[in-house]
Every structure is written in structure tokens, then in C-alpha cells.
Amino acid sequence: MATIDEPLYPIAILIDELKNEDIQLRLNSIRRLSTIARALGEERTRKELIPFLSENNDDDDEVLLAMAEELGVFIPYVGGVEHAHVLLPPLETLCTVEETCVRDKAVESLCRIGAQMKESDLVDWFVPLVKRLAAGEWFTARVSSCGLFHVAYPSSPDQLKAELRSIYAQMCQDDTPMVRRAAASNLGKFAATIEQHHLKTDIMSMFEDLTQDDQDSVRLLAVEGCAALGKLLEPQDCIASILPVIVNFSQDKSWRVRYMVANQLYELCEAVGPEATRADLMPAYVRLLRDNEAEVRIAAAGKVTKFCRILSPQLAIQHILPCVKELSTDSSQHVRSALASVIMGMAPILGKDATIEQLLPIFLSLLKDEFPDVRLNIISKLDQVNQVIGIDLLSQSLLPAIVELAEDRHWRVRLAIIEYIPLLASQLGVGFFDDKLGALCMQWLEDKVFSIREAAATNLKRLAEEFGPEWAMQHIVPEVLEKINNPHYLYRMTVLRAISLLAPVMGADITCQKLLPVVIASSKDRVPNIKFNVAKVLQSLISVLDQSVVDKTIRPCLVELSEDPDVDVRYFAGQALQACDQVMMSS
Amino acid sequence: MGNGAEDAGPPVGSSPPPPLEWKFSQVFGERAAGEEVQEVDIISAIEFDKSGDHLATGDRGGRVVLFERTDVRNLGSRKDLEAQDYPISRHPEFRYKTEFQSHEPEFDYLKSLEIEEKINKIKWCQAANHVLFLLSTNDKTIKYWKVQEKKVKKISEMNVDASQAVQNDNIASSSTISPRGYLPNGGCPERPHGQLNNDLSMPPGGFPSLRLPVVVTSQETSLIARCRRTYAHAHDYHINSISNNSDGETFISADDLRINLWNLEISNQSFNIVDVKPANMEDLTEVITSAEFHPTHCNMLAYSSSKGSIRLIDLRQSALCDNHSKMFEEHEAPGSRSFFTEIIASISDVKFAKDGRHILSRDYMTLKLWDINMESGPVATFQVHEYLRPKLCDLYENDSIFDKFDCCLSGDGLHVATGSYSNLFRVFGCIPGSNEATTLEASKNPMRRQVQTPSRPAKSLGSFARVVRRGAESPGVEANGNSYDFTTKLLHLAWHPTESSIACAAMNSLYMYSA
């Protein structure tokens, strides 16, 4: 047995713990594998540590996952890129384990290592590894192999390339759906490394196999690959081979497949160009917008603006707008909600006239939707319409919608609308705001739910920022301060909160003249919670106010509070006094 | 039915194959005479894996016991095995492999409900690398188990245990090292990793004195079962079935009112695909009793109801499959209604045949075989224990009428089986023309109570489309002096996927029979 020098003791333990029975210690050791490697030196890392790891691959999944990750960045510790291949064997075994996340991580690490390896090394070491995995007895190995072809392929000589292509084709027809799924989801990546002429023949025939798979789960992934594949092909090839498939898929029996198409269609439009989009994809898209399954309509509705952007305004008005009209009264609230979140974006595309004539009625009906999310989604994107038609046309219907949301019985809805108030205020302008919304903002300060009162206070601050201190002095401050007489202490606390938020915006003068007296008066409140909140507010006001005011008004008040019978009041008063002292010291 | 020549039933009109000759093969956990059965030991689920090389049972105590086949040894790889082309001369034999505690009793504090540990269902998942995976469920929680053989390893050389090197042999007898390896009190003196500082400069050649632990792998193996995932909190009612999909990545779980779809990899979300809960619970007339995925079409599943109907749904049609694509139901003859009609119509189990064309269902009195292409009625009905019909009133009084019997089909789809009372189970031949109907007792002498199969053949065997009733017991059984024992009921049984072999549970004992 070796005797270990004192300074090496920690590393020695770290190494021993690679085999400790406590999984946390093993994990810890694996996470510090690079330290162990540096302590052993490059040569012994190659000759001892890596083989050791390869042999001890039946550990718990958590440990294997960590090992797979560490090995991905291990090239420097084995002596650089020329020795990178020694890392392949342990990762190869990890590619075959049962746990999906370990395999995925091992594949990721292999790709990372492969990307750095020299071409000749790739051919000597990496390609055989891919072939071995692809011929694996269990599906786990074959699944992993699919994610490695795109690394192995580019540096291979022609003959090997042909072999790799044919192996991949086998993967696309494997018995296990898991392998076919892996082949389908990696097809795009693999295709990107393949020469154009093989792309059109080999890859397209694999793609065709996958699109005709009888497992839904495989076809789904094939759809996902459509757009990626389409972008690799020349537009005319894409139109010839991908377009029919996608048009077919848009009428697939399975709603999941159609859902995928709805999500991918827009990407494909870019690949096939405007002409084919108009001729073939638009009818498909219109079908999806009218699909039987709500999930499909949701996906399609969510893309309506993006899709219109590639079409001409005229086509959009002619073909898409009628569907949009139908969707705005869809039976599923989720469809309407998805539509509401994007429909505002159509205004700039359609132009002012069409928007007023066609879109405005839809906006208005969505603004009156019974489902609050729909209304909120419209309101949140208001600025987009404002740019096209101005707010005047909308304001009439806007107000009832806002008032209704402001009084919704679900506090989350009220919270959401409060958060849009500053946006609305900036869009609607001071005049409109004063008339209609000012009262609401005050009303929220007395909401039953704390989060709403809190948001209401923050809202006042943002309004003061938007419209300036003078406006705030006129419209907000008096009403807020009046509420300090509320008999319920929780509402008085909200006022204090609002004051501390408003003070920095209002500036020293107004704070000193108007806000501070109210705070000081509250220090005599009978409720301790108010008193210690006074202490907190005073602390926050120190930075806003002049030193003289601090000394003359704030400090005496705090001193008094620091002798309060209540322990919490004394504590926060003490904190605030300390802050006073610090400011004085620094000045 | 079926695709292979072997699977296809003989052409109509030819004489049916001779009935199977059943023989006792094995028993596990046999009860000694007079031995009292512990409630927790009673078997509550039986399931063969796809290959038939493994068998799992679950019990009321929340345990899962695994058995493995011994007569076919897969020493080589799977492919070698297939290439060898075994002559199938022997009946499958199993031996105990391992067991583990799958579920523990729990208490739901929010609903003040006790959750039993009883295993309701077990399903095998795709195996990989000789590692077995299975799903087990109690009333509320589904668990995904990984059962793995690990080689026993000994750690022989460490850096920091020079003084205790002598102990190594007896320390490391398990697959892991004992912490005594470096400290007698089982801990490390300090956790020095934090101080493993960077000012310790590493020489380019490393420190020669450091060594890696030496691991000696022995031939001994130990089986370890680990729970990999827990799928919980998705069912308001009791889970009655789970079923995995042919796509290998999803499964369903069904309770009284809902069916949820899960991804095996994701345990924190599931999708509700069937919901039969009425807006007002007073309108509730029907509950889900069992559900199963189609063996090959990943988009199809069948579920049965307490009203005796089976619905086939297509997951492609819509995200929420409240509308079935097919409904199989037998319309009762008018005038035959009684108080018990609805109770005994309730289906306790549905199973797809391997070919995916036929569905077998079990209600209280009968087994029914349905053709997926015929919704109006079953292609065959088998009376399981018709002699109990006059006793329905007693069975209702003692709640036996609510017992839920499993059913199963042979791998070739030519036979069906289900359980009854007095530890009896029945096997029927289901080729048209066959009147094979065997009664066996779960004991070492299965034919003890064998009664003659009625010689009355089923009428007009010409077509599948005609309901064939047969197997009606002659009423003489009771005359034998055997009174029926409603406490010894044979609820759970399973047919080996490839061989003529049945595993069935009689209380705490697992009996296996072969033909």
C-alpha cells in the first residue's frame, strides 16, 4: 500500500470515493474527474483512469449521467486532440444504457468530441463506433447511433459514406419504433451533411419511408423534419418532394400530425417561396384553420399573423380573413385566446382601410369575449393597432372591456389588467385616462387581495413616471393621502407602500411637503404593523430627502419609535436609525 | 384471425382440434393444510412479459414477485436463441427470481383517505440490455420499476486505507465498499474536498503515488429493483387498469371515470383522454371498469363499462376522446330483465387478442369474444358458471356479485380462460365448431372436479357472426356434493404469450398448468 503525502490526501480520498457506497460521494468524485485526471497526469489518465471508467459502467444512472457529461470536455486531460479517441470507449458503453437521459448526454458528448477530432481519427475510431452501435443487439444502442451519423459522415471517404447512408436507411426501417423515431428526429441533422445529389435520392427515400410509417409517433417527427429538410433542398426540389407530403399530412387522420403541420407550415413557406405558398400551402393552411380538432385550430390560429406576412395583403383579406372571422367566434376559448394574442399584428399587414373595415369588428367582438384571457390578450397588444388606426375608434369599446376586467372576480385577471394600465395610459393619453381610468386605479388600492393592492401601488408609481410629477400631484397624491384615514389598517398600509414608491418620482419638495407629514402622523397609529411600516418607509425616504429634513423630522420620529413597546417596531426603527447614521457618516 | 398459418383457425367445417389436456406443472407458495392465509399475501395481479420468459405477481401487501423461465436458457444473445430453433418439447418452467416492495400503505391527509398498498395491476415494459422494466399500480400511484442484475464487485486497493488493508477481504463482501474502508467509525475524518485548493500544483506527469481503486468483479450477481419514476396525483378515483402502448413510449391509466395518457419518461404531467364524469354526479349511470391499448395500433384503445359495453376509441380523432369510434354492446332479450341484470352485465376485464382483431371481455356470468368488425354482439359467448344463476340473490347478499374476474386469451387466440369460485377456472376453445370447455381446479390435481363437457354441440357453426352459446354446465355439479365456496375465488390468471400454459392465483398460491 502506498503511503500518501499530506497534501495529496484530499485527492487520494476523492479517487477512493469513485467507488464509495454513498452515491453522493461517488457523484462528487465524478464531478471532479478533471481534478483527478490532472493529479494522475495525462498518460495515466489515458492508460488507467479512462479504462477504469469504461469498466465501471454499471453504476447508478445519476453517476453515469455525470460521467457522460464530464467526458465530453475531457480532451485537455488526456493529452489533447490527438488522444481524443481514448474517450470513445467509455462513452460508447454509455450510449447503450437503458436510461434515456444518460444515452442522450453520451451522444451529446460524443458529438462534441467528434467535432474536434482529426479527420483520419474520425475514420479510424468514430465511424467504426457508429457502425457498432447501429448494429447493436438492443434498441438502446441503435437509438444512440442515429444521433452520431452527422459527425461521422463528412470526413468519411466515398465508399464509407455510401455505407453510412445505407445503415441510416436501415435505422429508418428498424423494428422498434424507438429507433425509427430517433432516425426521424435526427434526419434533418444528418441530411445537412449530405451532398446535394444524394440528398435528392437517398435521403428523400428515407424521408418517404418515415412519412408512411404506421406509428403516429414516427410520422409526427417526420413532419417536424419537413421544414429543416425543405431548407436544404433547392426550392424546385422542395416543391416537388416535400410539398406534396406536407399537403398530405395536413389531411392526415391523426390530429397530432395535423397539429405538427400547423406548427411547421410557416417555416416551410419560407423554403418553397411565395408562389407555391399561394398555390398549395395556403389552401392547406385554410383547412387547418377550420380543422375539427381544437388543438389544431389553436396551433394554426397562433400563426395567422406570421402567415399573412408572407402572403400579399389582398390574398390575406380574401382567404385568411374569413377564417379569422370564424375563429373569433370559435367554440373553444383557447382558440379564441390564441387568435387574440396574435390578431393585433395583422393590422399593420392589412393596412388602415382593411383594418377598420374588417379587423375592427373582430377586435371588438373579442374585446367582449366572455373569457377574460381573450380580452386580456387583445388589450396587451393594443399598441400595434394604435399605430395603424389610432386609438379613437377602439376607445369606445375598450373602456367597458377594461372596467369589466378590472372588476373580474378572479384576482389574477385583475392583476393582469393592472399590469397593462401603464401601457394603456401611454396609448390613450392623459385626457382619456383622467376621465375614465383614474378612478379604477384608486379603487384597486382598496382591493381585498394583497397582490392587487401591491400591484396598484406600483401602478401609481409607473403612472407618475409616465405623466410626470405635476400631473401626479394633481390627480394621484391627494386621493392617495386621503385614504390614510381608512379604518382598516391593511388599507392604511397600502397607502404607506404607495408613498414609499411615489417619493423618488415626486422629488424632495413634494415628498417633504405632502408625503412626509402623512407618514409622520401615522407613526402615532395604534396598530404596531403600521408603525414599523412607518419606520421602513422613513428609511426609504432618507435618500430622497435633504439631510436637514432627515435630522429635523425623520430622526426624532424614529427615536420615538425605537422606544415603542412593540419589539418589531423597535427593531425596524433601529434599522432605520442605523441607515440615518450611515448617510450622515458618508456625507 | 391472425397472420401466420398457425394462427389462423382451421377452415370452417373441418373437425376441431382435440381439446387441450391440462396437467399440473408448478406451484409457488402452496398452502399447507389448515394454514391460515395472511391477507397481505393474497395475490392481486398476474402478468407475463411479452417474451414469456418472465412472470410477475403483485399482492395485497404491495409486493411484486418476479419469476423467470428456466427451461429455455438464454445464455447467448437473443438472436442466437432465435437462430437455434428450439424444439418445443417441454412445458415452460419458472423459478423464483426476486421480489421487492412496490407500494406502501399511505394516508391522504387532505381527503382523509387511506390508500391501500394492494397492487391492482402490473404491466411489463420493453426490456433493454437484459434489464427488466415494469409498471405497477395501486389505487392511486403508478410506479416504473427497473430490475437489474448487477455483478458483485470487490474493491481491493485504495489510497487511504493502508493501515486497514488486512481487512479488505471481509469488508468488501457486498457490491459496495464499507465506509470502514478508511475510518472505523464509518465516516471520513473531514470532507477535505472543499479545501482541495488550486495552489496544489499538479506536476505534468501526475503524482505517481496516487492509485485508482482496484475492482475485482466476481461471477456472483445480485438483483436490484429500483423505482425510476412515480406517476402520482392524476387520479381522483381508484385506478383499475394500466396498459402500455405499442409505440414503447406511452401508457394509459384508467380509473372509474377517467383515462389518462402518460409518457413513460415524464412523471409530472399526463393528458386526460377520456372523461365520463357527468356535470352532476347524480346523473352518473356508468363507470369505466377496464381499459387496454391495441396490441399493434398505437392509436387505438378499448375500455369497458359497468353497463356491459366496450368502446373502442381512436386517439387520432381528437385530443379528448369522449366520442368513441365503435361501441360493442349486446342487446338483451326483452323480458329477461331482472334486478340483477345490470349488476351482472358489468365487465370486469377486457383483453385484446394478439392479432388485434378480437376482444375478450368478462362479465359476471360469461366470457364474450368480440370481433372488432362487428359491434352488434359477440361472436361467441361462454357460460362460466351458469349454475350460479339461481343463487344470484345470495351472491348479492354477500357482495360476491361484485367480484371482478380477469380473463385471458392464449397466444394463438384459439383458447380463452377465466376464473370462478371454489378455486375453479375454465378454459374454452373458441374456434367455431369447438365445444371444448374444461373446468380445472387450482390445486395439484386440477381435474379433481372435472365434470363432463356437455356433448351438446353449438348450433350452426357456419359463421362467426352468430352467437354461439356453449359450455353450459350440467346442473349436476352440486349433486357431486361439492358446495360452492364463495370465499375461495380465482380472480386472477394469465396465459403464457407463446405456450399452452396458464398461471393462476388461488389466494396466496400461484399455480401453473400446461397442456
Residues 49-108 of B with CB under 8 A from A: 77-79
Measured between CB atoms, which of B176, B196, B297 is closest to A11? Answer: B196
Radius of gyration of chain A (CA): 34
B131 contact A CB<8A: yes
Among residues A356, A359, A350, the alpha carbon closest in space to that of A327 is found at A359
* Whether the Cβ atoms of residue A300 and residue A289 lie closer than 8 Å to each other: yes
Give A-chain residues touching B188 at CB under 8 angstroms: 13
The x, y and z cell numbers of residue B118, run together, are: 394492494
Task: Say which CATH number the domain at A511 has.
Answer: 1.25.10
**Do the Cβ atoms of A10 and B195 come within 8 Å?**
yes
**pTM, entire model:** 0.79
A-B CB pairs within 8 A amount to: 166
B180 contact A CB<8A: no
- DSSP code string of A126-181: IHHHHHHHHT-SSHHHHHHHHTTHHHHSTTS-HHHHHHHHHHHHHHTT-SSHHHHH
Q: What is the DSSP letter of B421?
A: B
Q: Is the pLDDT of residue A419 over 60?
A: yes
- Per residue, what are the HEC states of A509-521? HHHHHHHHHHHHH
Give B-chain residues touching A41 at CB under 8 angstroms: 202-207
B214 contact A CB<8A: no
Measured between CB atoms, which of B150, B207, B298 is closest to A8? Answer: B207
A21 contact B CB<8A: yes
Give B-chain residues touching A11 at CB under 8 angstroms: 196, 200, 207, 210
B173 contact A CB<8A: no
A121's CB contacts (< 8 A; 6+ apart) are A82, A84, A85
* Pairwise CA distance, residues A464 & A60, whole Å: 58
Question: Which pLDDT score, from 0 to 100, does residue B257 have?
Answer: 95
A5 contact B CB<8A: yes
SS3 B99: strand
Range among A31-40, A437-446, A545-554, B475-484 with highest mean pLDDT value: A31-40
Measured between CB atoms, which of A5, A32, A58 is closest to B209? Answer: A5
Q: Which residue of A has its CA nearest to B174?
A: A21
Instruction: Write out the H or E segment, with its range, that includes residue B150.
Output: strand B142-157
Lay out the sheet containing B407-409: strands in order across. Answer: B407-409, B415-419, B424-429, B437-441
The shortest C-alpha distance from B109 to chain A (Å) reads 28
Classify residue A79 as exposed, middle or buried by CB count within 10 Å of its CB (0-12, 13-18, 19+).
middle
The shortest C-alpha distance from A250 to chain B (Å) reads 13
Question: Which pLDDT score, from 0 to 100, does residue B188 have?
Answer: 43
The x, y and z cell numbers of residue A226, run together, are: 419537413
Q: Which residue has the cell 391477507?
A: B39
* Whether the Cβ atoms of residue B248 and residue B263 lie closer than 8 Å to each other: no
SS3 B147: strand
pLDDT tens, A201-246? 899 999 999 999 988 889 989 988 888 888 888 888 888 888 888 8
**Do the Cβ atoms of B247 and A216 come within 8 Å?**
yes
Q: Does residue A575 fall inside a structural domain?
A: yes
Maximum alpha-carbon separation in chain B: 96
Per-residue pLDDT band for A1 (boundaries 50, 70, 90) equals very low
The shortest C-alpha distance from A3 to chain B (Å) reads 7
The shortest C-alpha distance from A99 to chain B (Å) reads 9
Q: B258-263 and B326-328 as β-strands: parallel, antiparallel, unpaired?
A: unpaired
**% of chain A with per-residue pLDDT over 70:** 98
Q: Does residue A529 fall inside a structural domain?
A: yes
pLDDT tens, A111-167? 999 999 999 999 999 999 999 999 999 999 999 999 999 999 999 999 999 999 999
Better pLDDT: A488 or B482: A488
Q: Does residue A46 fall inside a structural domain?
A: no
A3 contact B CB<8A: yes
Q: Does residue A349 fall inside a structural domain?
A: no
Q: What is this model's ipTM?
A: 0.77
Q: Which residue of B has its CA nearest to A217?
A: B247
Better pLDDT: A335 or B18: A335
Domain count, chain A: 1
**% of chain A with per-residue pLDDT over 90:** 54
pLDDT tens across the length of chain B (515 residues):
444 444 444 444 456 677 888 999 999 988 877 788 888 999 999 999 999 999 999 999 999 999 999 876 544 455 554 555 554 457 889 999 999 999 999 998 888 889 999 999 999 999 988 899 999 999 999 999 999 888 887 777 777 764 443 344 433 334 443 343 344 444 444 444 444 555 567 777 778 888 888 888 778 888 999 999 999 999 999 999 999 999 989 999 999 999 999 999 999 999 999 999 999 999 999 999 999 999 999 999 999 999 999 999 999 888 888 788 889 988 877 777 888 988 999 999 999 999 999 999 999 999 999 999 999 999 999 999 999 999 999 999 999 999 999 999 999 999 999 999 999 999 999 888 888 899 999 988 877 665 544 434 443 333 443 344 444 444 334 434 456 778 889 999 999 999 999 999 998 999 999 98
Q: What angle do CA B401, B404, B410 make, to 5 degrees?
A: 130
Q: Does residue A537 fall inside a structural domain?
A: yes
Maximum alpha-carbon separation in chain A: 91
**B423: alpha, beta or left? (left if phi > 0; alpha if psi -120 to 50):** left
Among residues A58, A3, A67, the alpha carbon closest in space to that of A33 is found at A67
Question: Which pLDDT score, from 0 to 100, does residue A128 have?
Answer: 96
* Pairwise CA distance, residues A365 & A320, whole Å: 18
SS3 B55: strand
Q: Does residue A392 fall inside a structural domain?
A: no
Domain that holds residue A576: 507-586
* Pairwise CA distance, residues A381 & A383, whole Å: 6
Q: Which residue has the cell 379564441?
A: A336
Give B-chain residues touching A22 at CB under 8 angstroms: 179
**Do the Cβ atoms of A58 and B150 come within 8 Å?**
yes
Say which amino acid occupies A305.
T
The shortest C-alpha distance from B228 to chain A (Å) reads 9
Give A-chain residues touching B211 at CB under 8 angstroms: 2, 15
The shortest C-alpha distance from A64 to chain B (Å) reads 15
Q: Does residue A557 fall inside a structural domain?
A: yes
